[in-house]
Amino acid sequence: MTDVLFIVNPAAGGGGTGRHWRTLESHLRGAGLRFESELTSRPGHGTELARQAVKAGWPIVAAVGGDGTISEVANGFFEDGAPIPTRSRLAALTTGTGGDFRRTFGIPSAPEEVAAMLIAGRSRRIDAGRVTFALPSGGTAIRYFVNIVDAGIGGEVLTRINGGFRLINGEITFAAAAGLALLRWRNRPMRVTTDGSVHDVIAQQVVVANCQYFAGGMRVAPTALPDDGLLDVVVVGDMGLVDNLRGMGLIRRGAHLNHPKILHLHSRRVEISSPTPIHLDVDGELPGMLPALIEAVPGALELVCP
């Protein structure tokens, strides 16, 4: 029998996680899983609860919510700029809008299937990323990520979604929010430095990826491997509305890397800056702005997955 602590974000999925947690809990117990749960009450609370659980030696610390919740819980495995020495493993039950992190690993979404996965206990060692970014109020902050960092139009899309914009499901919500953002967005000058090589570009967005998917199922980094010690860098250049309409399907299928306005690189260290203010999307949250330094942290986490 596996001992699991679920860290539940009741606000995830537009509040749906909180409304349905008792039902989800019943399904998990019915599948034979032994666990306890803690509900978060504010931004950053998931990190605090996870750090306490890791230090207490919980075998599995599982996030219940969206990609932002998974990222918060994953941050609890780090302290003072380094991974906490632990045998605790990270896991996820995705109930939020995007559900992108789980796609790379084939993690199920049905609670009964997640329970079976946790009981089986198979896992793999994966990389994380560390991003140092500017705060709007001044100064800098550090945050770890497990999926993707995006500088550019992604911040405009997230502003709409995090502000309550919701449609039928995550994929449609992200697609509609992206379409609305494109009507107002103007591509920006950015400097992207990858392991010392400088690229000055006019870009719609710069994506630094540990995993493959973002924005509700867009396979933006189809070759990303979360255990190779490298970050995939996808620079979406000076694309216009027609380019985006033609390219949306390509990105969803992961068939866009040969597009003439897309630059694909691999790097252990990425610096992004711009003379104009640009929000930074870190695992589906907006913690700060450019400039940013993004570094790979190889083998930082052990993830329970199929």
pLDDT digits (tens, 9 = 90+) for 275-289: 999 999 999 888 999
Q: pLDDT confidence of 216, banded at 50, 70, 90?
A: confident
Residue type for position 78: F
The segment(s) of the chain belonging to CATH 3.40.50.10330 are 3-121
State which CATH number among 3.30.70.100, 2.60.200.40, 3.30.43.10, 3.50.50.60 fits the domain covering 128-299. Answer: 2.60.200.40
Which of 2-6, 29-33, 138-142, 146-150 shows the lowest mean pLDDT across its residues? Answer: 2-6
Class of the CATH-defined domain 3-121:
alpha beta
Which of 67-71, 76-80, 147-151, 283-287 shows the lowest mean pLDDT across its residues? Answer: 283-287
Q: pLDDT confidence of 1, banded at 50, 70, 90?
A: very low
The segment(s) of the chain belonging to CATH 2.60.200.40 are 128-299
Q: What pTM value is reported for the model?
A: 0.90
Contacts 24+ apart (CB under 8 A), 23-29: 24/64, 24/93, 24/95, 24/111, 27/111, 27/112, 27/115, 28/111, 28/112, 28/114, 28/115
CA pair distance 197, 192, nearest whole angstrom: 8
CA distances from 178 to 55, 281, 303 (A): 40, 14, 30
CA pair distance 217, 99, nearest whole angstrom: 8
Q: pLDDT confidence of 63, banded at 50, 70, 90?
A: very high
Arithmetic mean of pLDDT over the chain: 90
Dihedrals phi, psi of 168, to nearest 5 degrees: -65, -45
Q: What is the pLDDT of residue 284?
A: 85
- The residues, any chain, with a CB within 8 Å of residue 112's CB and separated by 6 or more, are 27, 28, 30, 31
Answer whether 270's CB lies under 8 Å from 208's CB: yes
